[in-house]
Homo-oligomer: A and B are copies of this chain.
């Protein structure tokens, strides 16, 4: 493959050309050598987008909720990008057809961009690739970038928690309260949404979550995550959700929480890039021989794995 013209791609992405945005996201997914140059051009131009994480267990209606959120944001004139992240899938994100079917009505809207992304064996998985993909969508001028994660594993929670604002989706009849507490999602949510609120038990889930969040104990000035109800299939309650997202962004700006959150995201990004660089170095010819030799000595019981790791690090 010829070296991509990164300057041109970034220019085109900034001009809102979906093809260029897609190509840049592919560079992220492929961990392309050109990525470094692209990110160097992109990074100084980012920070305008509102990055919203959306997470929740399978079955809560995540895709429908995301689609309904997009609908409400579009009604308010926002340009919206959706990054659907699946840490458990090794499959490529080029699943364009699937993405289009999935987002139905928004598929032909030029101000909506949808992309699935898979982990593709990145070290540290998506915690590494996601911030970079978000940068690409940010530089392309989307007002809101929705990062939707599948599942409620640790990595999903981490990916969602790295957003400016995190929406945790729940639904009645799934033993959600306890599941949520276990999975640690009660620590990452800025806005809680009980979807399928036309079903029995929805009010109870909202009460449970409210009581688990211990809102009463929060100090004055702290953010008190609202616990809202929606019926995403009918678009009900979405306006309140988008209001809450905007209030949270506003509060975050004022309180300094946004700056802190973005620093944390940058810290994780930098750390992950550094680790990936080291790994690449170790896979290079000289270092690979050294690593092979160390591994051989571990198998031969001449070194224990920790002592071998010390030597690899030159300690």
Contacts and interface: CB of A to CB of B under 8 A. Distances in A.
A30 interface: no
A270 interface: yes
A229 to B, nearest CB: 27
Interface string A192-231: 0000000000000000000000000000000000000000
Given A39-B305, A264-B295, A312 B153 contact: no
Q: How many copies does the complex hold?
A: 2
Contacts of A304: 39-40, 43-44
A282 B271 contact: yes
A273 interface: yes
Given A39-B305, A274-B312, A309-B270, A153 B295 contact: no
Contacts of A131: 305
Contact of A153 (B88, B264, B292): B88
A299 B261 CA distance: 10
A259 B305 contact: no
Given A88-B153, A184-B90, A291-B267, A47 B301 contact: yes
- Size category of the binding interface on chain A: 35 or more
A94 interface: no
A270 B295 contact: yes
Nearest to A182: B91
A305 B154 contact: no
A264 to B, nearest CB: 7
A136 to B, nearest CB: 13
Contact of A154 (B47, B90, B299, B308): B90
Given A153-B119, A184-B90, A298-B269, A292 B263 contact: yes
B278 A266 contact: no
A271 B312 contact: yes
A308 B39 CA distance: 12
B262 A299 contact: yes
Interface stretch (A62-70, A75-83, A121-129, A239-247): A121-129
A61 to B, nearest CB: 20
Interface in A263-296: 263-264, 266-267, 269-271, 273-275, 277-279, 282, 291-292, 294-296
6 contacts: A43-B305, A90-B157, A131-B305, A263-B296, A271-B312, A273-B308
